[in-house]
Amino acid sequence: MHRPKTDVTSAPYVTAHPTTESAAASSDAPALADLLTHEDVDRARDRWEVARARWKGRGAKKFRGVRLLWLLIGPGVLVFLGENDAPSMLSYSADGARYGIGFFIPFVVLTFVMGFVVQEMTVRLGAVTHRGHAELIFDRFGKFWGFFAMGDLVVGNFLTLVTEFIGVRAGLGFFGIRPTIAIGGALVMVAAAITTGRYWTWERITMGLAIFNGLFIPAAILARPNWHAAGHALVTWKPFPSGNHYEILLLILATIGATVTPWMLFFQQSAVVDKGMQPRDINAGRFDTLLGVLLASVFAIAAILATAPLFHHGINAADFQAAQFAEALEPLIGHTGAALFALGIFEAGIVAAIAISTSSAYAFGEVLQTGHSLNRPLRDAWPFYLVLLGSASAAAALVLIPNFPLEFVVLTVNVIAVLAMPPALAFLLLLVNDPEVMGEYVNGTWANVAGIGVTLLLIIAGLGFGLATVFPKWLGG
């Protein structure tokens, strides 16, 4: 059954909330006030602001498009800056420290292009269906696959959350801050961001924190890299680096896992829904996602450039302790540069902790059909907030356990990220190619070619990781 082109609210997979611009402006709105939830009212207000920017605007006409984009951007920027998390930035740093400026700079760009291909599909799914990713899987493929998707996500997210607090602890450890104070302060920041009872406020607070991922840029400048060599590497793609093939493969897989992971699908689609985006907003959602890709890729490359001076100093590429990277960099780029690097790792951990715990809570609420919106107050959606804060608190507590195997957890997370992505992409491709779900917004030929290509690359990466782990001597490991 195809979806009508003009009336998105008539589609079978659209939640019947009066959140469109027309509903917000309707003369019947006062009569419906008693039927609306807190979530409906807040989202309708957001949509009304979008309607004003689209049709009337404020100030000069030439600024209307800028205001509209400002109102609509958010999920795409957050998902990619959130994925530039502590283990990801440390993975990029390991690339620069072990192999310098060369193969990994264009390879990182390629992984972000893969990320855009995947996340663009989630924008369309959320805007057209008004359903989160876990909810759609549950409705379309049944309870078993719905609970499987949620369980797989929650387990992977929890382990990833542990690595985020490792980054928080290690980043602030550079400044001599005690682990209990660092982790406790991080939890307070997570709680402050999510208990506003307003998606818009949460989004802007988190975006404000996320922009500090740019701290890696001044750190890279202070490293005084060879900019000509960096530009040449970007446009020519230097050959595969020489050395231990096993170690190189592990770094390649860790770099892929640092850019394309399952939580991103669930988070961005649910955030698009929570924001109340409509099919007419899809192009703005694509721009938002592209902006996130551009920012995150620049910051990732900056992390490589910042640690490139360690290339000839034999740092262990398996060392994911942020403070040790910063301490190793200090003699080469100065205390200021090393401090910026450590603060960047702290920021990466805190923003990802907020986004990933929210992703888990979204999936939990969608599958169990409880309140799952940041527009709901705590009393109306306490299970949602309990999962969100509870998962963050439990992960933080593990990091404080003496002699806890932190590096093992980081490695495990990278394995899960690589191996769990192909099944998640299979669900995504089935949904965006289903006419009953997407109507006229189904994948086109080129979107399918790109999506299937990304899936195949990730399958090959997962198989390569498995073979390298079981038979490391084949690659000289």
The answer to whether residue 449 is domain-embedded is: yes
Residue 75 in this model has a pLDDT that exceeds 60:
yes
Asked which of 40, 72, 104 is the last residue of a domain, the reply is: 72
In this structure, the answer to whether residues 13 and 116 fall within a common structural domain is: no
Q: Between the CA of residue 15 and those of 8, 10, 19, 452, what are the distances in Å?
A: 10, 9, 10, 29
* Percent of the chain whose predicted confidence (pLDDT) is above 90: 36
What does the block give as tokens for 473? 């001597």
Local confidence band at 301 (pLDDT 50, 70, 90 cut-offs): very high
Q: Between the CA of residue 282 and those of 2, 71, 73, 128, 268, what are the distances in Å?
A: 18, 13, 11, 9, 13
Asked which of 20, 53, 72 is the last residue of a domain, the reply is: 72
In this structure, the answer to whether residues 341 and 202 fall within a common structural domain is: yes
Average pLDDT over residues 70-93: 89
Q: Between the CA of residue 208 and those of 70, 78, 259, 268, 343, what are the distances in Å?
A: 13, 10, 21, 17, 15
In this structure, the answer to whether residues 61 and 88 fall within a common structural domain is: no
For residues 447 and 445, what is the distance between their CA atoms, to the nearest angstrom? 6
Average pLDDT over residues 71-100: 88
**Domain range enclosing 39:** 8-72
Compute the mean pLDDT over every residue in the chain, rounded to the nearest whole number. 81
Count structural domains, the chain: 2
For residues 379 and 396, what is the distance between their CA atoms, to the nearest angstrom? 25
Local confidence band at 56 (pLDDT 50, 70, 90 cut-offs): low
Average pLDDT over residues 216-231: 91
In this structure, the answer to whether residues 262 and 146 fall within a common structural domain is: yes
For residues 109 and 293, what is the distance between their CA atoms, to the nearest angstrom? 9
Asked which of 72, 91, 125 is the last residue of a domain, the reply is: 72
In this structure, the answer to whether residues 59 and 119 fall within a common structural domain is: no
The pLDDT assigned to 112 comes to: 95
For residues 405 and 159, what is the distance between their CA atoms, to the nearest angstrom? 12
Q: Using one digit for the tens of pLDDT, what is the confidence trace for 95-132? A: 888 888 888 899 999 999 999 999 999 999 999 999 98
In this structure, the answer to whether residues 308 and 295 fall within a common structural domain is: yes
The answer to whether residue 265 is domain-embedded is: yes
Higher-confidence residue of 253 and 338: namely 338
In this structure, the answer to whether residues 382 and 460 fall within a common structural domain is: yes
Residue 8 in this model has a pLDDT that exceeds 70:
no
Residue 294 in this model has a pLDDT that exceeds 60:
yes
The answer to whether residue 1 is domain-embedded is: no
The answer to whether residue 220 is domain-embedded is: yes
Spatial neighbors of 118 by CB under 8 A, at least 6 apart, are: 260, 264, 265, 425, 428, 451, 454
The answer to whether residue 2 is domain-embedded is: no
The pLDDT assigned to 25 comes to: 44
The pLDDT assigned to 2 comes to: 40
For residues 367 and 350, what is the distance between their CA atoms, to the nearest angstrom? 26
The pLDDT assigned to 116 comes to: 96
In this structure, the answer to whether residues 199 and 224 fall within a common structural domain is: yes
Average pLDDT over residues 143-149: 84
The answer to whether residue 119 is domain-embedded is: yes
The answer to whether residue 3 is domain-embedded is: no
In this structure, the answer to whether residues 20 and 159 fall within a common structural domain is: no
In this structure, the answer to whether residues 345 and 382 fall within a common structural domain is: yes
Local confidence band at 34 (pLDDT 50, 70, 90 cut-offs): low
The answer to whether residue 64 is domain-embedded is: yes
In this structure, the answer to whether residues 148 and 171 fall within a common structural domain is: yes
Spatial neighbors of 405 by CB under 8 A, at least 6 apart, are: none
CB burial readout 384-395, b (16+ within 10 A) else e: bbebbbebbbeb
What does the block give as tokens for 43? 């989202």
pTM of the model: 0.85
Q: CATH number for the domain including 98? A: 1.20.1740
In this structure, the answer to whether residues 421 and 313 fall within a common structural domain is: yes
